[in-house]
Amino acid sequence: MDANKPETITVKIRTPIHLLATGPQTACDIWNRHYPVGTPVTATKDKGEKVETVTRSAAEVMGGHTAVIWLEGISGAYLLSRVIGRQQAEEMFANKQFATLEGLKRAAVKLKRAEGISHSAALEEIARDAGFANYSDALQAYKKGQS
In a domain, 9, yes or no: no
Give, to the nearest 10 degrees, the angle between helix 135-144 and helix 119-129.
Answer: 60
51 plus 34 within the same structural domain:
yes
Digit-coded pLDDT (tens) for 48-102:
788 889 999 999 999 988 889 999 998 889 888 888 876 655 555 444 456 678 8
Q: How far is CA 29 from CA 20, 78, 83, in A?
A: 11, 16, 15
DSSP 4: T
Digit-coded pLDDT (tens) for 115-147:
677 888 888 888 877 777 888 888 888 777 654
CB atoms within 10 A of CB 49: 9
115 plus 48 within the same structural domain:
no
The residue ranking higher by pLDDT, 145 or 24, is 24
pLDDT at 101: 80
**Residue 40: domain span:** 16-92
Domain CATH for 64: 2.30.30
80 plus 29 within the same structural domain:
yes
